[in-house]
Amino acid sequence: MEIFFVILVAVVLCLFVYYLVRAIATWHKNNLSPTVTEVATVINKRRAASMNGNMTYITCYVTFKTQGGEELELTVKGRVFRSVEEGYAGRLTHKGTRFISFERNYM
């Protein structure tokens, strides 16, 4: 029984370290990426819910398709999520996988 507990703690610790290193690597990669502004169209929106004890967290995602055909799914704040709809076209600014802004074309 004691060895099972040790293995369980080791697995949980390894998973924690893995996700921490992955988050730091993504953060660092985004910081080194250039800020890019390009014409893009909103092709999808979705929300994902996660629970932590009694708290529910909602993460909002918007998928953009650039003129070059690249699809980028970026995490956005709720106010941005509510202000865009599928089919909106405009100027997307991002830094790596970090969303900066989206300015809709009204033409």
Residue found by looking up tokens 């830094």 in the block: 95
Calpha distance 65→67 (Å, rounded): 7
Calpha distance 32→25 (Å, rounded): 11
DSSP letter, residue 34: P
Instruction: Give the closest residue to 81 by CA, choosing from 47, 52, 40, 33.
Output: 47
pLDDT average, residue stretch 34-45: 96
Report helix, strand or coil for 13: helix
pLDDT of residue 52: 85
Residue 107 predicted with pLDDT over 70: no
User: For the segment 53-66, what is each residue's pLDDT rounded down to a tens digit?
Assistant: 899 999 999 999 99
User: For the segment 82-98, what is each residue's pLDDT rounded down to a tens digit?
Assistant: 999 999 999 999 999 99
